Structure 1
Amino acid sequence: MASSTLDVGVQRPTSPGGKTFLGHPRGLATLFMTEMWERFSFYGMRALLVLYLVAGTSEGGLGYTAAVGAAIYSVYNAMLYLLALPGGWLADRFWGARKTVAVGGGIIMTGHFLLAVPSTASFFAGLALIAVGSGLLKANISTMVGHLYDGPNDPRRDGGFTIFYMGINLGAFLAPLVIGTVGQNIGWHFGFALAGVGMALGLVQYLMGTRHLSARSDVVASPITPAEKTAVFRKAAVWAALAVVFFGVVTLSGRMSVDWVIWPLSIAGIAVPVLYFARIKRDKDLDEAEQSKMKGFIWFFVAAAVFWMIYDQSGSTLNIFATDSTASTLFGFDFPSSWFQSLNPLYIMALAPVFAWLWVWLSRRGKNPSTTMKFAFGLLLIGASFLVMMLAMGAAAGGAKVSPLWLAMVYLIQTVGELTLSPVGLSVTTKLAPAKYGSQMMGLWFLAVTAGDCVAAIMQLLVGDATGSTWYFASQGVLAVIAGIALTMYRKNVVRMMGDVH
């Protein structure tokens, strides 16, 4: 976000000594490895998280019900994306991207090692630190990839981001196979510690390779003034004091439980994007065309929220189903249930190039689906995946263990849906963004994940023991299918709102 306001002339040579990384600036290797190890730590811990939450105390877990465990997972995932907004703001106003990523990596590493301590208090403190650190790192490391190139028209730029994207999925693929195996077969806290080691490796090589990064990553784009800093610290102190008083009263009354954390965070995760849209709607600086585009964007935002509400349950309700109701043997080979979490990144690495080629091939023939239809396909597919889960749940009735191929099919359908919606959503967000909100709109787009996960958390708490039942999956699957049909029926209206964006 900061690069658009800076002179390319401040950039140091991108390939000291003539060395490159696959034909790209040497700094790409540093960022590739940093993101790969960060994703390794994140997805490895995520593969164990809900399983540890719902495992009985005799098994070393925390003994929560499936509903509460899934809700904790959903809120945690939602906060990662919500905290990316202040993470980007801190880089722009205080530290610059390079320092912010280093601080974020250190906080993430500390959080993972706190998870390794056999204490409930340290566990939740660790989750909070990982969420904060991920917000700092996630918001800025992609920006630093952009800094390596000579502006948006550098012919190597798209290829660089593709290589970086593969690092994300490589880390996500390997993590459950390694950390999941250790956590389930040796001990939960050993798995969490291994995730911390992964982040430590990523942080060390980041600090060692930082000299290869662009000088633009050091620049604070819009330094905060002393008056603004005082105002920010004052507001932060007030909100922190209110939180301490609120939870102090609840604790002293003897009513403190995890619900008192999940509900406020879930409501906040839904309220923030609503308030943000309301603020933009009231902005008199936006002309009629820009306001119309924002109305069209709301359709895509809601569709994305419904999509992520279901998709992100791969690490919660589907992970529990994998452990409790799915056979862990295929073709005579035994494996931990957490390995199912490697299917999505594996499918992504295999299918992303196919879809990139497919859209170009269809475009050349004038048959490339519109953005609205691609979103509709995504909703229909994510809905279909939960309808398949409904059938799988029915097949597991009475304690039967179903074939692993059920979940393999569900994850395949979800991945195809992701490839029709997620990359297209990033693109249409940049196209529909009013000039005044160019950078902020990308943060608003990621809030669709926050909103969807928070709705899932509330729903999981409300349905309680019915979480994971056939009607639980069926109702959400039908909702997504209806949303996809509605978007298809109203696509002409949405296209009209989009104006000159196609």
Structure 2
Amino acid sequence: MASTVMGDAPGQGGPAGDGKTFFGHPRGLATLFMTELWERFSYYGMRALLVYYLISGGPDGDEAGLRAGGLAMSTAAASSLYAVYLAMVYLLALPGGWFGDRVWGPRKAVVIGSCVITAGHLTLALPGAPAFFLGLTLVALGSGLLKANISTMVGYLYAGPRDPRRDGGFTLFYVGINLGAFGAPFVIGTVGETVSWHAGFALAGVGMALGAAQFLAGTKHLAPASDVVPSPVPRQERARCLLVGLAWLPVAAVFYGVVVATGIFSLNWLLVPITILGLIAPTVVLVRVRRNKDLTPAEQARMTRYIWFFVAAAVFWMIYDQGGSTLAVFGKGSTTGELFGVDFPAAWFQSLNPLFVMALAPLFSWLWPWLARRDREPGPMTKFAVALLLIGGSFAVLTVSMALAAGGARVSPMWLVSIYLVQAVGELCLSPVGLSVTTKLAPARYGSQMLGVWFLAVTAGNCCTSLLGIAGIGLDGTGGVVAEAALATAVGLALFAGRGRVR
């Protein structure tokens, strides 16, 4: 998964607490650790059910052997909606960070975000398409608020960037992310897939409510800086900012009112504009930074090189995030659902990624310094090339498994296990390296903002996936999988060939 851990936050305060520690770290880390664990539990639990619920009740759902009761979409439409949802979660982290920095402060933003997420999951628990789309919107909005601000508060617990415990604190925080993501499919996925879709969504809401409750109970352990608004919007400007931000609402209401009244409304009337926005926003941000006349020629040159990394990351996430759509549908409809004589729900496949990340991350943390001491560590561009080749290779493996499953046959779940393993290795070659590259190449005046730009690569990649689905390209078919594998491989080879220019 794309890491939610951010870099140094400006204007940090000192640690808070009463002398008690959490594995040698400030007590407040336990509060943030558990909040993020429960938020990821709710997020990944709901995500494990999302595509299954969307296709349930339709021909593709029947073919996959899913219970009825869903929205009966086609796999292509469900995959597009799923991709748009993921894209919006990361895109909304930008305004979420703005509210934390300029309006509410990080602590209040996290509280509001947690409540909005809880309301979203509980709304998803209600039957009917209107409740579903409202709930999905609320979860995306709340996630944007929480994601952008909780990591900042981790930094506030330490006495500045030079605190020797700081890196270890963020490492523990990242463990919380993966623990929540690992456990969610076993609980929420099992209940949703085998008992009731809406009961599963309700469990996700309960999980986030628990996270919000323990956050409120533990706020006394957080640093005082968590309540500070670093750069408040002047009172006279708030009304103007609110007016500009909401100016599009009446326009959208009139436009979609006309579309619905004329009887031509379809899901694409929602997906296409959001997808285009998700592609335009990163492009505008990158061009704006690159063309800033206040940058030195050296900084502009670094931004030009950074675009290579950004495009490569977008291609990577385009394929990687289909773990919850294309791979999930294949796992449900084309694998035996049995391992070592034990039957299991297909939602359990979603636990493989966090499991492999937790198992392999220490190995990579040791590997890169070990190679560096021998002057053999590959450069960032080479690591990115390896990540693209691995993600392309994972879909090549999927192509083989799809061929073996042709005609209604079912293959061993080990095919999917191997695919998720290869993808996790690719993630560890790209995600942490991308964060590091972003901090190194970012112009000084855009240091913090560029970390937000890095996560827009996830938005761009998922919007590309959505466009393919909207265009009718079957992402669950052999042709689409082969094309994506070829694209990732070609980009990986291009990165490797051009690594000298970006060194």
Shorter-chain TM range is: over 0.9
**Superposition map of 1:313-392 within 5 A:** 313-392=322-401
Structure 1 residues 99 and 426: CA distance shift in structure 2, 3 A: same
Q: Which amino acid aligns with 1:471?
A: G
Aligned counterpart, 1:213 = 222
Aligned counterpart, 1:122 = 131
Aligned counterpart, 1:183 = 192
Cα distance in 1 for residues equivalent to 2:252 and 2:417: 43
Q: Which runs of 4+ in 1 moved over 2 A?
A: 1-8
Aligned counterpart, 1:145 = 154
Deviations along 1:88-146, one digit per CA (max 9) or x if unpaired, are: 00011000000000000000000000000012101110000000000000001111101
1:479 to 487, 496, 503: 487
Deviations along 1:258-296, one digit per CA (max 9) or x if unpaired, are: 111111010000001111122123211001000000001
Structure 1 residues 242 and 427: CA distance shift in structure 2, 3 A: same
Q: CA deviation at 1:243?
A: 1.4
The answer as to 2:472 corresponding to 1:470 is no
Q: CA deviation at 1:226?
A: 2.7
Aligned counterpart, 1:410 = 419
Aligned counterpart, 2:211 = 202
SS at match of 2:159: coil
Cα distance in 1 for residues equivalent to 2:361 and 2:246: 45
Aligned counterpart, 1:31 = 32
The answer as to 2:171 corresponding to 1:162 is yes
Q: Which amino acid aligns with 1:384?
A: G
SS at match of 1:149: coil
SS at match of 2:472: helix
Aligned counterpart, 2:64 = none
Q: CA deviation at 1:4?
A: 5.2
Identity between Structure 1 and Structure 2 (%): 58
Q: CA deviation at 1:253?
A: 1.2
Task: Say if 2:17 and 2:222, in contact at 8 Å, map to a contact too.
Answer: no
Aligned counterpart, 1:421 = 430
Q: CA deviation at 1:3?
A: 7.2
Cα distance in 1 for residues equivalent to 2:311 and 2:397: 23
Deviations along 1:349-397, one digit per CA (max 9) or x if unpaired, are: 1000000000111111111110110000000000000111111111110
Cα distance in 2 for residues equivalent to 1:90 and 1:238: 18
Q: Which moved more, 1:300-309 or 1:231-240?
A: 231-240
Q: Which amino acid aligns with 1:397?
A: A
Aligned counterpart, 1:6 = 11
Q: Which amino acid aligns with 1:104?
A: G
Aligned counterpart, 1:97 = 106
SS at match of 1:463: coil
Q: Which moved more, 1:344-353 or 1:270-279?
A: 270-279
2:497 to 479, 489, 501: 489
Q: Which amino acid aligns with 1:390?
A: T
Unaligned 5+ segments in structure 2 are: 1-5, 59-66
Aligned counterpart, 1:233 = 242
The answer as to 2:261 corresponding to 1:260 is no
Unaligned 5+ segments in structure 1 are: 496-502
Q: Which amino acid aligns with 2:396?
A: L
CA RMSD of aligned residues (A): 1.3
Aligned counterpart, 1:55 = 56
SS at match of 1:224: coil
Q: Which amino acid aligns with 2:196?
A: G
Cα distance in 2 for residues equivalent to 1:246 and 1:2: 41
The answer as to 2:95 corresponding to 1:86 is yes
TM-score computed with the length of structure 2 as normaliser = 0.96
Aligned counterpart, 1:499 = none
Q: CA deviation at 1:46?
A: 0.3
Q: CA deviation at 1:220?
A: 0.3
Q: Which amino acid aligns with 2:371?
A: L
Cα distance in 1 for residues equivalent to 2:284 and 2:21: 45
